[in-house]
Amino acid sequence: MLTLKHLNKRYADGTQALKNISVTFPSGMVGLLGPNGAGKSTLMRTIAGLQQPDSGNIQFADIDVLAKPQALLQQLGYLPQHFGVYPNMSCRALLEHIAVLKGLTKPARREQIESLLALTNLTKHAKKRVSTFSGGMRQRFGIAQALLGDPKLIIMDEPTAGLDPLERENLNNLLVSISQQRLLLLSTHIVEDIESLCQHVAIMHQGEFQQFADVGTLIAPLTQRVWQLDALPDELQDIIVLSKTFRHGHSVFRVFSEHAPCAQAQPVVATLQDAYFLSLHQAGGQHVAG
């Protein structure tokens, strides 16, 4: 269990990236959603001890994280949004190097590296340089290095960004298998991934938590209130436009409304993306203009 209390962070240029964040995350996979600049990476870096908040507390299990950052490091696996690798080191050598930095004994290193290579499907690439890996292999390597030392808190900042659909699916399967008995905090812009993978979701906007709940609770208020239409009615009163997408080149709108907004409107099953867009709309953030 990870508890954040009254976390605040203001950058030197005056940007308030975290505004009084208080929340308790249970174990399992927790999704972090928010538009660009919402503060997700700042929050993740702060929890990982890579930057200090201006005020507040972070408690993970019995560790006071800000007072004892070293104690957290033994429990933490972190996959940042962008990570560099030594260009001349092989995958296995780099894992060995990171395992030494994490303080693993030689037998533990040998055992964990082989099993993590197998878990991330990298055994046959272990001698290759990570700098030559494809995007998907690199992210799988990132997961392997994060899991060294069997951490109980794993933080992943957009692990599937830029991956093709098959690699994304592979990585998502991997995330599910490693999230058992741990807290895995996952940030991604792909809302459907969070809906399928995570039990709990936090929605961030402008440094604040708009909502934190299990996925079902977030979606429940939208049940039987989301409608799909090809074109918006002239009268938009009492309607919130959630999204506009295209299907085979034709526009498709999803709207939130207590009642059918027009005769052509089809009732549709509400999704986490609908709940997310509604939350942003209510926070005065981005939403689709009609």
Ligand X SMILES: Nc1ncnc2c1ncn2[C@@H]1O[C@H](COP(=O)(O)OP(=O)(O)OP(=O)(O)O)[C@@H](O)[C@H]1O
* Total residues found in the chain within this entry: 290
- Using CB under 6 A, pick the residue from 37, 69, 233, 290 that binds ligand X: 37
Question: CA 15, CA 12: separation in Å to the nearest integer?
Answer: 7
Q: Measured from the CB atom, is 8 or 131 closer to ligand X?
A: 8
Question: CA 67, CA 52: separation in Å to the nearest integer?
Answer: 11
Number of residues that bind ligand X (CB under 6 A): 12
Residue 86 in contact with ligand X, rule: CB under 6 A: no
Minimum CB–partner distance for residue 191 and ligand X (Å)? 13
Question: CA 288, CA 239: separation in Å to the nearest integer?
Answer: 12
Minimum CB–partner distance for residue 202 and ligand X (Å)? 12
What three-state secondary structure class fits 210? strand
Stretch that binds ligand X, among 40-48, 116-124, 136-144, 271-279 (CB under 6 A): 40-48
Residue 34 in contact with ligand X, rule: CB under 6 A: yes
Residue 36 in contact with ligand X, rule: CB under 6 A: yes
Stretch that binds ligand X, among 33-41, 64-72, 98-106, 123-131 (CB under 6 A): 33-41
Residues whose CB is less than 8 angstroms from the CB of residue 107 and which lie 6 or more positions away in sequence, other chains included: none
Residue 42 in contact with ligand X, rule: CB under 6 A: yes
Minimum CB–partner distance for residue 16 and ligand X (Å)? 8
- Judging by beta carbons within 10 Å of its beta carbon (0-12, 13-18, 19+), is residue 54 exposed, middle or buried? exposed
Question: CA 256, CA 269: separation in Å to the nearest integer?
Answer: 11
What is the residue whose two structure tokens read 């074109």?
A: 231
Residue 203 in contact with ligand X, rule: CB under 6 A: no
Residue 38 in contact with ligand X, rule: CB under 6 A: yes
Residue 11 in contact with ligand X, rule: CB under 6 A: yes
Q: Measured from the CB atom, is 96 or 157 closer to ligand X?
A: 157
> N- to C-terminal Cα distance for the chain?
42
- Using CB under 6 A, pick the residue from 1, 6, 15, 26 that binds ligand X: 15
Q: Measured from the CB atom, is 34 or 159 closer to ligand X?
A: 34
Minimum CB–partner distance for residue 79 and ligand X (Å)? 14
Question: CA 159, CA 170: separation in Å to the nearest integer?
Answer: 12
Angle at 193 between CA 189 and CA 199, to 5 degrees: 110
- Using CB under 6 A, pick the residue from 31, 39, 49, 53 that binds ligand X: 39
Residue 17 in contact with ligand X, rule: CB under 6 A: yes
Residue 41 in contact with ligand X, rule: CB under 6 A: yes
Question: CA 274, CA 244: separation in Å to the nearest integer?
Answer: 11
Q: Measured from the CB atom, is 121 or 206 closer to ligand X?
A: 206
Stretch that binds ligand X, among 32-40, 148-156, 175-183, 282-290 (CB under 6 A): 32-40
CA distances from 173 to 4, 120, 140, 179, 207 (A): 28, 10, 11, 10, 30
Pairing of strands 55-60, 28-33: unpaired
| Contact residues for ligand X, defined by CB under 6 A | 11, 13, 15, 17, 34, 36-42
